Structure 1
Amino acid sequence: MESIILIVHILLALGIIGFVMLQQGKGADAGASFGGGASQTVFGSSGSGNFLSRSTAILATVFFITSLALAVYASQKAKSVTDLGIPSEEVIEKLEQDTPVVEEYAPSSDAPELDASVSDEPAVEKPAN
C-alpha cells in the first residue's frame, strides 16, 4: 500500500509541475488587451485560467493528502528505537556474555623460530666509500 501511495505521490508531483508550467503569468493579460494571444489559446477565448487553476488546486490537494499518508506510514515504522535496528541493553549484555574471549596468540614450542634478520623490506646495498 505504501508503494502505491508513493507512486501516486510522484505522479501528482509531476502533474503539478506540468500544470504550473502551462499556466500564464500575471503579466500575460496585459498583452491580450492589445489584441494578441486571446485567439491563440487552446481552451478558447476565455483563456485557460479556470481549467488549469482548478486542476492545479485539485492535484495539490491530493498531493498533500498523499504526503500526510506517507508521513503516517513513516511514523508507524519508526515508533520505537528497537524498530530502527538498535539493540536494547539486555540484548547487548546477553551478547557480551555469550561471546567467547579470544586469547592472545602464543606460538607453541614445536613451531619454528623466525629469523630476526629476515625482513619484508628489499635489501639495499650501501655504496662503498
Structure 2
Amino acid sequence: MQNIVLVVHLILALCLIGVVLLQRSEGGGLGMGGGGGAMSARGAATALGKLTWALAIAFIATSITLTIIAADQSAGSSVIDRLGGTSETEDSAPAPSLPDGSGLLPPSAGDAPALPPRAE
C-alpha cells in the first residue's frame, strides 16, 4: 500500500512541476504585478490554473497519507529494534570507571608550594 501511494506521490510531483513550468510568466516574483494571480477570477479560470490546484491538492493528500502510514508502521518500535541487531555498547567491553573528579578542581591556597624569600 505504501509503495503504491509513494509512486502516485512521485508522479504527482513530476506532473505538478511540469504544469507550473508550462504556465505563462506574468513578471514580478511571488505574484506581484501582471494582474491578480490565483486570487482573481481570471487567474482561476484558466485550465492550467485549475489543473495546478487539483495536482497540488492531490499532492498534499498523498503527503498526509504517507505520513499516516509511516506513523502506523513505526508505532512502538525504534530503528535498532527493526534492524534486529544489538547496539555497540552491548557487544563491547564495559566502559571504564570515571575518576571521582576531586583532581579536577584548582588547588586551594593551603596546597600552594612555599616560595623562597625575596632578596631585596
- TM superposition score normalised by structure 1: 0.48
Q: Please, which of 54, 58, 82 is the counterpart of residue 50 of structure 2?
A: 54
* Aligned counterpart, 1:70: 66
Displaced runs of 4 or more, over 4 A? none
* Aligned counterpart, 1:5: 5
SS of equivalent residue, structure 2 residue 55: helix
Q: Identify the structure with the greater helix proportion.
A: 2
* Aligned counterpart, 1:86: 81
SS of equivalent residue, structure 2 residue 81: coil
> For residues 64 and 75 of structure 1, what CA distance do their matches in structure 2 show?
17
Alignment of 1:105-124 (within 5 A): none
Deviation at 1:26, TM superposition (A): 1.7
The higher radius of gyration belongs to 1
Unaligned 5+ segments in structure 2 are: 35-41, 91-120
Q: Which amino acid aligns with 1:25?
A: S
Instruction: Give % identity.
Output: 34
> For residues 4 and 81 of structure 2, what CA distance do their matches in structure 1 show?
29
> For residues 84 and 65 of structure 1, what CA distance do their matches in structure 2 show?
27
Root-mean-square deviation (CA, aligned residues, Å) is 3.1
Q: Which amino acid aligns with 1:79?
A: A
For 1:27-65, what per-residue CA distance to the aligned partner results, in whole angstroms no more than 9, with x for missing partners? 3997xxxxxxxxxxxxxxx9xx71101001000000000
- TM superposition score normalised by structure 2: 0.51
Alignment of 1:33-52 (within 5 A): 50-52=46-48
For 1:58-112, what per-residue CA distance to the aligned partner results, in whole angstroms no more than 9, with x for missing partners? 000000000000000110111113x53439xxxx8xxx9xxxxxxxxxxxxxxxx
* Aligned counterpart, 2:24: 24
